[in-house]
Amino acid sequence: MPGDLVDNQGKGLAGWSWPPIHPEGRKFGLITAFAAAATAYLAWETIAWPLAFLTLGVLAFFRDPARSVPQAANLILAPADGLVTLIQKVPPPAELRGADGGAAGMGEGARTRVSIFMSVFDVHINRAPVAGTIRRVVYIPGKFLNADLDKASEDNERQHFLVERSDGVLIGFTQIAGLVARRIVPFVKPGDIVAAGQRIGLIRFGSRVDVYLPEGTEPKVLLGQKTIAGETVLAEIGSAAALEGVIQ
């Protein structure tokens, strides 16, 4: 059950269950289900069957499974399910760099950015990578380019978050809309205190999340690796060891 304590020594209980549907998606499921039922009632089978499959697809897209969230102090967790497609040294976005309203920013220096691409088959609920206080939530309107492209970080519709840990370390991350995505939905606002792995928002129908790591921290994931939001350890603060992998 969500909230139960588990560990790596066998403590706790685990079992498979049907994932619940996030409330944000229930209205879409009801609309397509009603349309499928109405067309079936009118004996329009060629329309009813596609609508029925669309209903299942919508419900699957908005699934919200529970996650076992590691609780070690210095871990940075993946905020999104998906594929690590880019790892680059870049300056953080302007919205995360400078001081704003008395809250410090990430600064001008280049940071390691890890980009996680979410296909329409991935869970699209995004989670906080660390525990702390939400210092900024900045929405930027933009284009709807392929979210897998590098320039999507600067051109696409996006939403920036800045989280400050209790020790003052700042983690920035950005939700980026893609070709199909048409709305970014936040669940938190500036001033909110979040736990690591807490749900903080979603992006509808395919997108990407960029994470800007603190100085002196390198990722513990590889290009091409699949991540699970709230479970995969993306990095450990202060750890800059190089990693190599083999695709096989």
Query: Which of 13-17, 43-47, 54-58, 110-114 has the highest average model confidence (pLDDT)?
Result: 110-114
% of the chain with per-residue pLDDT over 90: 48
Mapped to the 3 state alphabet, what secondary structure does 188-201 carry?
CCCCCEECCCCEEE
pLDDT at 29: 86
- Say which range, 18-27, 67-76, 141-150, has the weakest mean pLDDT: 141-150
- Say which range, 30-44, 98-112, 163-177, 219-233, has the weakest mean pLDDT: 98-112
Dihedral (CA of 61, 233, 177, 138) sign: positive
Note the pTM of the prediction, 2 decimals.
Answer: 0.85
pLDDT at 154: 63
User: Phi, psi at residue 152, to the nearest 5°?
Assistant: -60, -30
153: pLDDT strictly greater than 70: no
Give the mean pLDDT of 158-167.
Answer: 93
How many CB atoms are closer than 10 A to CB 55? 20
- Buried b / exposed e over 238-248, threshold 16 CB at 10 Å, is eeeeeeeeeee
Q: Could you tell me whether strands 111-118 and 207-212 are parallel, antiparallel, or unpaired per DSSP bridges?
A: antiparallel
pLDDT digits (tens, 9 = 90+) for 88-129: 999 999 899 877 766 778 988 899 999 999 888 898 899 999
pLDDT digits (tens, 9 = 90+) for 4-33: 888 787 888 887 788 888 888 788 889 999
How far apart are the C-alpha atoms of 133 and 198, rounded to whole Å?
A: 12
Helix (H, G, I), strand (E, B) or coil at 146: coil
Helix (H, G, I), strand (E, B) or coil at 165: coil
179: pLDDT strictly greater than 80: no
Helix (H, G, I), strand (E, B) or coil at 49: helix
- Which residue among the candidates 17, 119, 153, 207 is catalytic per the annotation? 207
Of 79, 117, 32, 101, the C-alpha closest to 211 is 79
Is the pLDDT higher at 243 or at 218?
218
- Helix segments in the chain, DSSP class H: 23-41, 45-61, 94-97, 152-155
Of 130, 150, 148, the C-alpha closest to 90 is 150
Helix (H, G, I), strand (E, B) or coil at 56: helix
Amino acid at 8: N
Of 170, 177, 67, the C-alpha closest to 127 is 67
189: pLDDT strictly greater than 80: yes
How far apart are the C-alpha atoms of 235 and 241, rounded to whole Å?
A: 10
35: pLDDT strictly greater than 80: yes
Q: Return the structure tokens found at 10.
A: 């066998």
pLDDT at 192: 96
Give the DSSP per-residue string, 113-142: EEEEEE-TTS--EEE-SSSEEEEEEEEE--
Per the annotation, the verdict on 17 as an active-site residue is no
pLDDT classification of 196: cutoffs 50, 70, 90: very high
% of the chain with per-residue pLDDT over 70: 90
How far apart are the C-alpha atoms of 86 and 174, rounded to whole Å?
A: 14
